[in-house]
Amino acid sequence: MKPAQTVKSIEAVSAGTPPAAIPANGTDTVAKGRLDHGPPVAVIDIGSNSIRLVVYEGLTRSPTPIFNEKVLAGLGREVLTTGLLAQDAVDRAVQALRRFRMLCDTMGAAKVQVIATAACRDAANGPDFVREAEAICGVPVDVLSGKREAKLSALGVVSGVHRPDGLVGDLGGGSLELVDVRGARLKGGLTLPLGGLALQDLSAHSLKKADRIVRETMRDVDLLKGGIGRAFYAVGGTWRALTRLHMRQTGYPLDVMHGYTIPAREALEFVRLVRRVNADTLSQIASVNEYRRPLLAYASIVLEHIIRVGRPRDIVVSAAGVREGLLYSALDEKERQRDPLIAAAENLNLLRSRSPEQGVELTDWTDRFMASSGLDETADEKRLRRAACLLGDIGWRAHPDYRGVQSLNIISNASFLGVDHSDRAYLALAVYFRHVGLYDGELSPTLRELASARMIDRARVLGGAMRVAYLISAAMPGVLPHTPLVVRKGELQLVLEGRFAALDGERLANRLRQLARLIGREARIVTG
């Protein structure tokens, strides 16, 4: 399949040709809104509580799910007391696997990987179930050891968090995996029998007994003590349900789970509340699947003791875990080194912009402007600015009155990796300002609160620069490299020389003056 077009990468570490949009013709069944990352890849994750199928667009640094479904089978419900997978849970799991295998075939998944965790490795009849699962899926089932499960969870965080530093805790139905992570370096890796279903089983549904089990189990876990003052990365569906409830109760402006951060002290107060009351009485409890609600108290007990023993600075939710770690481990080293945010922004630029090449030129054009402006910019801020440039034109198909709001909604809720929620706010606001102007009177104040005053100011400056850039380039390539925007001798100058002098005009001059005021300069269009 030949690519429809190619666009150069903006990062040295991303050297090479990004994927092209998949063309469609009379016989093609693939939509143009897909990227040519190769055939889809699928992961079936047989967990102790849920069985999930995720089919990804392809094996890439920023994997995009094209299908995602889970079934709460509860395989690990009685394993620690009976030693067996319950037959009704096995029946639900088998039915789910048959459906998932058919869906993989329907979507043309070239590779299907099936992994299984605590319930299957601990149950006496686990091998029998695994053989049946292999017959249904047509591929081997990789029953992960506790140590490997911990490593893959940590690699998922490495793949999805920009420069992670802290402890990864993956809470499943049967176990809790802990790993220390600094950047891409992993240390330790252990499994504790503290999953929600396991605790419910061991404690005979007694929260007091569960608390005692967790306290005694964590008392001598030295790995936790290495997390003092660092982040704790929470991986797993029950912890996501717990934090989703926190988001709803606090009226948080985004629905994105990945990167959601709660200060440890606030998290401690919240989990104590969840432990103390019946979950069904909590406000917004409807946001949590009813099958997970009984496990919220057990997850709260585990998190409370993690905070008390490990004393982390923040609790950070990672939507990337074992499955994403499995994909990340399959990438070559060059692809692993790519920035997942830039990779995702390049993909959206290619799929949605009028000219993807212009988005790349815009990054270089703003590089020169920022270097001459006198505004200091950290490496992280430069990274975000370049991503925002790639996203600057993704809302162009909307009605002009709604391009700003639509772009803001797409960016703030996109399935980006490698960004926290403050980063999302900056990216969304920069493109919002590019469309609606440099004032934010109609913008939700809660979204503004996600970003610092400095980042809002930088978003406004970048939005102002993009308003100039799109007025002279009409979103087409070949103009910006010849029309630099620079600060010289105390002036903000837009250079329109030769044939580009014809682009001069009153509207352009007004936008240039608006930008100049933001950075405390006079404005001048240089023609000749």
Calculate the average pLDDT of the chain. 90
Q: How would residue 448 be classed by pLDDT, with cut points 50, 70 and 90?
A: confident
Query: What is this structure's pTM?
Result: 0.90
Cα 342 to Cα 134: distance, rounded to the nearest angstrom: 38
Closest to 122 (Cα-Cα) out of 81, 169, 62, 153: 81
Q: How would residue 22 be classed by pLDDT, with cut points 50, 70 and 90?
A: very low
Closest to 295 (Cα-Cα) out of 245, 249, 223: 245
Strand ranges of the sheet holding 485-488, from the earlier edge strand across to the other edge: 485-488, 491-496, 522-527
CA atoms within a 13 Å half-sphere pointing along the CA-CB vector of 153: 33
Cα 116 to Cα 128: distance, rounded to the nearest angstrom: 13
Q: How would residue 461 be classed by pLDDT, with cut points 50, 70 and 90?
A: very high
Which residue reads 């897909």 in tokens? 34
For the cut 50, the answer to whether the pLDDT of residue 509 exceeds it is yes
Closest to 57 (Cα-Cα) out of 109, 134, 105: 109
Q: What are residue 16's DSSP bridge partners?
A: none
Which residue reads 């929260």 in tokens? 207
Q: How far is CA 159 from CA 96, 241, 256, 318, in A?
A: 28, 22, 17, 10
Higher pLDDT: 441 or 384? It is 384
Cα 72 to Cα 13: distance, rounded to the nearest angstrom: 40
CATH number of 147-324: 3.30.420.150
Q: How would residue 116 be classed by pLDDT, with cut points 50, 70 and 90?
A: very high
Question: What pLDDT was estimated at residue 438?
Answer: 87
Residue 284 phi/psi, 5° resolution? 65, 20
Cα 453 to Cα 353: distance, rounded to the nearest angstrom: 29
Buried/exposed 240-262: b ≥16 CB within 10 Å, e otherwise: bbbbbbbbbeeebbbebbbbbeb
Q: Which amino acid, 247?
A: M
The two three-digit tokens of residue 465, written as one number: 């620069």
Question: What pLDDT was estimated at residue 251?
Answer: 86
Strand ranges of the sheet holding 165-171, from the earlier edge strand across to the other edge: 185-192, 176-182, 165-171, 231-235, 314-317, 261-263
For the cut 50, the answer to whether the pLDDT of residue 227 exceeds it is yes
Question: What pLDDT was estimated at residue 110?
Answer: 87
Residue 223 and residue 200 in contact, taking contact as beta carbons nearer than 8 Å: no
Q: How would residue 14 be classed by pLDDT, with cut points 50, 70 and 90?
A: very low
DSSP-derived secondary structure for 285-306: GGGS-TTTHHHHHHHHHHHHHH
How much is the average pLDDT of 318-343? 95
Residues 6+ apart with CB under 8 A from 519: 373, 374, 375, 461, 487, 492
SS (H, E, C) 55-106: EECCCCCCCCEEEEEEECCCCCCCHHHHCCCCHHHHHHHHHHHHHHHHHHHH
Closest to 199 (Cα-Cα) out of 175, 170, 234: 175
Which residue reads 């790639």 in tokens? 390
DSSP-derived secondary structure for 176-220: EEEEEEETTEEEEEEEES--HHHHHHHTTT-HHHHHHHHHHHHTT
Q: How far is CA 127 from CA 131, 143, 173, in A?
A: 6, 9, 19
Residue 178 and residue 135 in contact, taking contact as beta carbons nearer than 8 Å: no
Alpha helices in 219-355 (DSSP H): 222-225, 237-250, 264-276, 293-310, 322-330, 333-336, 340-352
Closest to 233 (Cα-Cα) out of 299, 297, 153: 153
Residue 426 and residue 388 in contact, taking contact as beta carbons nearer than 8 Å: yes
Which CATH fold topology does 340-527 show? Hypothetical protein af1432 (1.10.3210)
Q: What are residue 315's DSSP bridge partners?
A: 232, 262
Report the chain's terminal Cα–Cα distance, integer Å: 47
Closest to 157 (Cα-Cα) out of 146, 168, 147: 168
Q: How would residue 19 be classed by pLDDT, with cut points 50, 70 and 90?
A: low
Cα 172 to Cα 236: distance, rounded to the nearest angstrom: 6
The two three-digit tokens of residue 443, written as one number: 């913008």
Which CATH fold topology does 37-143 show? Nucleotidyltransferase; domain 5 (3.30.420)
| Range in 215-219, 415-419, 439-443 the model is least confident about | 439-443
Q: How far is CA 94 from CA 22, 100, 136, in A?
A: 35, 10, 8
Question: What pLDDT was estimated at residue 166?
Answer: 97
Question: What pLDDT was estimated at residue 7?
Answer: 46
Domain with CATH 1.10.3210.10 in the chain: 340-527
For the cut 60, the answer to whether the pLDDT of residue 16 exceeds it is no
